Amino acid sequence: MDAQGRGHAGDVDPADQWVFNPNTGSYELRLNPVADDSPSQYGGRRTSAPRQRQSSPDEDTSTPSGASDAQGRSGSRSGSRSESAGHAGGGRAGSRASDRPGSRAARRAEAKLPAQRRARASERSSSADGGRGGGHGRRKAKRKLSKKQKALRIGGGVVGFVMVAGCVGGVYMYQRLNGNINKVDVGEENPAVKDGPVNILVIGTDARSGKGNTGYGDAGSVGHADTTFLFHVSEDRSNATALSIPRDMVTDIPKCETKGENGETKVIRGEQNVRFNTSLGQEERDPGCTWNTVEKLTGVEIDHFMMADFNAVKELSTAVGGVEVCTAKDINDPKSHLNLKAGRHTVKGEQALAFVRTRHSVGFGSDLSRIKLQQQFLSAMIRKMKSGDTLTNPSKLFKLSDAATKALTVDTGIGSVKKLMSLANDLKRVNTDNITFATVPVLDNPDDPATVILDEAKAEPLFKMVRADKSLTKTKKAKKKKAEPKPKAEKAPVSEVDVSVRNGGGPAGAAAGTVEWLTNKGVGNAASGGNAPQTLDKTRVEYTASQEGQAVRLADMLKLPASALKKTGDTGSGSSMTLTLGKDFTTAGKPVGAPDKAPSGVEKVNAGDKNVCAK
């Protein structure tokens, strides 16, 4: 359909592009390769390469390409001459025996053809037999396709979906979809698929420019990070956590680099104590600046980003046939133009956008109340996209894929349909019931009632859970590791503790700060050893057999687990213990490592919960 519609069909038969895969037991659409890594600037579109002729998987490819091309041209000329001779002879018996249907040579040639081509050859043979003697004969009626075969030919394809911001992708009409995608070079080009956890930054911008984004007030706005999720997928792909970051939260935005249309790099200055949403758009900041801001805020290393605008919500919700939402009370918001009675509704287009934008008629009328609506909407969107109604409907699937790729702006690491599909197929194993949306804990800002500040006491444990790849959803517990034996020595007096502190991955200045903290606690000797020779993921205390009592006391003071204690082979005395602060270390006296469950009071919603209603 793509070839016919765009003038690149050539001699490609669509049926020849469907190939049976014995590994999956189903047919798959094999499309021609295209150059999918061409660069494109922020907001730009890429141009698709014309479709090229590709050999069928059943064809013999042992002949070198040059020879094959020459043979093809020669065969074409030879065939033309034979055809002319045949017409001149008026159907006489002057044709060579090898050209006659049923001859041994014809049967050998036919056996080499793929099944679909043999069928067409058989039809031509039947027609030829019926036409001998100067008559035309009746052509053999074409066999009707079953519904299943029609679906396969129309667009069954290899299907995957990205469970981020409700994005579903497909490989149908590859070139068109590939040309839809915008990408931005943020200075990071991570592989689309990797081992270990995956962290994707999802940004919803409120830019008022571009198709479908005008008429919502604040005309001409370059856009802010209006809606932001940090989407974390576990290493074993059993669960995922989506952290909503309030747009009005006061934070620091680090300096960042952007690339202009001419390829020149520009450094954007950092700012302190400003709203989080200014990390995008303002001062010409691009998604890479929001990327840096989230990494600094959470300590989580991001792999990719995806950004969508107002029009994306309208197009995606329409493409899936609407998204079911629930309201616990009547909503009439003149700002967003949302007018819904209490109960369940299926929203799409403008109404879907109004639902995710409304805030004045729900909760306390703040952005925090609107976040709950967005989490409900995205949860319902994910459920709809994973439903059989969407994944088994080729027409709906293509519309959704087309809308999704047009709506997305991504980093260069996933800047093609091929890469997006690889990511989607990797992430689709996550069960919807194991996806949890949570809001980063905040407090009212005493200096500005229109903004909020980070609730560090609750936020840091939550961030630790993400960094440690711990789920907010109760999932099947992995086999418990055998507990390491705890030291049997009794705790030595605090005054006997003698330790050298090194920084091996903790915050800047952590070693000096810990030395000061230990000194104030009355330890006998604490000295800074500077930076450790290598970075450690976990904090470690190394001690000798004679220092075991000191190590137990130090671990108790710093709230370190027994696994942090490492006895060395040295049995002597006289040297200090070595405390190396790892990546898990935050502040002296606070437990290292992540808790097993989210702190009390953290707002959460499960993506599989169909009973969530806006209040």
DSSP string, 474-495: --PPPPPPPPPPPP-SPPPPGG
Please tell me whether residues 331 and 401 are part of one structural domain.
yes
Q: Burial code of 153-183, b = ≥16 C-beta within 10 A, e = fewer?
A: bebbbbbbbbbbbbbbbbbbbbbbbbbbbbb
Task: Find the radius of gyration of the CA atoms of the chain.
Answer: 32
Per-residue pLDDT at 90: 41
Residue 153 or residue 615, greater confidence: 615
Kindly tell me the burial class for residue 611, based on how many C-beta atoms sit within 10 Å of its own C-beta (0-12, 13-18, 19 or more).
Answer: exposed
4 within domain boundaries = yes
Please tell me whether residues 103 and 202 are part of one structural domain.
no
Please tell me whether residues 347 and 202 are part of one structural domain.
yes
414 within domain boundaries = yes
Q: Where are the beta strands (DSSP E) in 26-158?
A: 26-29
Per-residue pLDDT at 143: 54
Q: In this predicted model, what pLDDT tens digit does every residue of 488-520 receive, in sequence order? A: 789 999 999 999 999 999 989 999 999 999 999
Q: Burial code of 463-500, b = ≥16 C-beta within 10 A, e = fewer?
A: bbbbbebbbbbeeeeeeeeeeeeeeebebbebeebbbb
137 within domain boundaries = no
Please tell me whether residues 366 and 377 are part of one structural domain.
yes
**Residue with the two structure tokens 């050998």:** 108
Among residues 276, 280, 281, 282, the alpha carbon closest in space to that of 297 is found at 276
Residue 525's CATH number = 3.30.70.2390
Per-residue pLDDT at 175: 78
Q: Where are the beta strands (DSSP E) in 157-295?
A: 159-162, 167-170, 182-184, 198-205, 225-233, 240-244, 249-253, 256-259, 265-268, 271-275
Among 417, 439, 472, identify where a domain stops: 472
212 within domain boundaries = yes
- Rounded CA-CA distance 199/32 in Å is 31
61 within domain boundaries = no
546 within domain boundaries = yes
Query: Cα dist. 197→89, 233, 277, 459 in Å?
Result: 73, 6, 26, 20
Question: Does the structure show a pLDDT above 80 at 294?
Answer: yes
Are 203 and 306 in contact, with CB atoms under 8 Å apart? yes
Please tell me whether residues 309 and 190 are part of one structural domain.
yes
Please tell me whether residues 353 and 394 are part of one structural domain.
yes
Residue 604 or residue 400, greater confidence: 604
Among residues 233, 384, 403, 383, the alpha carbon closest in space to that of 315 is found at 403
141 within domain boundaries = no
Please tell me whether residues 431 and 567 are part of one structural domain.
no
Q: In this predicted model, what pLDDT tens digit does every residue of 368-405 receive, in sequence order? A: 999 999 999 999 999 988 876 766 777 777 788 888 88
Which among 95-109, 119-133, 391-405, 440-454 has the top mean pLDDT? 440-454
Q: Domain tally for the chain? A: 3
Per-residue pLDDT at 38: 41
Among 472, 502, 517, identify where a domain stops: 472
Per-residue pLDDT at 403: 84
Please tell me whether residues 218 and 281 are part of one structural domain.
yes
User: What contacts 24+ positions apart, CB below 8 Å, involve 275-278?
Assistant: 275/247, 275/248, 275/249, 275/250, 275/251, 275/451, 276/225, 276/228, 276/245, 276/246, 276/247, 276/248, 276/249, 276/250, 276/251, 277/224, 277/225, 277/226, 277/228, 277/247, 277/248, 278/224, 278/225, 278/253
- Rounded CA-CA distance 552/557 in Å is 9
Structure tokens at 414: 């996933």
Q: In this predicted model, what pLDDT tens digit does every residue of 300-345 receive, in sequence order? A: 999 999 998 888 889 889 988 899 999 999 999 988 889 999 999 9
Among 157, 174, 201, identify where a domain stops: 157
Per-residue pLDDT at 105: 47
Please tell me whether residues 111 and 165 are part of one structural domain.
no
Are 145 and 395 in contact, with CB atoms under 8 Å apart? no
- Rounded CA-CA distance 423/414 in Å is 8
Question: Does the structure show a pLDDT above 80 at 86?
Answer: no
Q: Which domain holds residue 21?
A: 1-39+98-128+149-157
- Rounded CA-CA distance 503/514 in Å is 10
Question: Does the structure show a pLDDT above 90 at 137?
Answer: no
The 8-class DSSP code of residue 614 comes to B
- Rounded CA-CA distance 447/352 in Å is 35
Please tell me whether residues 467 and 498 are part of one structural domain.
no
Pairing between strand 577-581 and 498-503?
Answer: parallel
Question: Does the structure show a pLDDT above 80 at 144?
Answer: no
614 within domain boundaries = no
- Rounded CA-CA distance 117/198 in Å is 45
Residue 464's CATH number = 3.40.630.190
Please tell me whether residues 173 and 319 are part of one structural domain.
yes
Please tell me whether residues 435 and 552 are part of one structural domain.
no
Are 155 and 172 in contact, with CB atoms under 8 Å apart? yes
Per-residue pLDDT at 22: 62
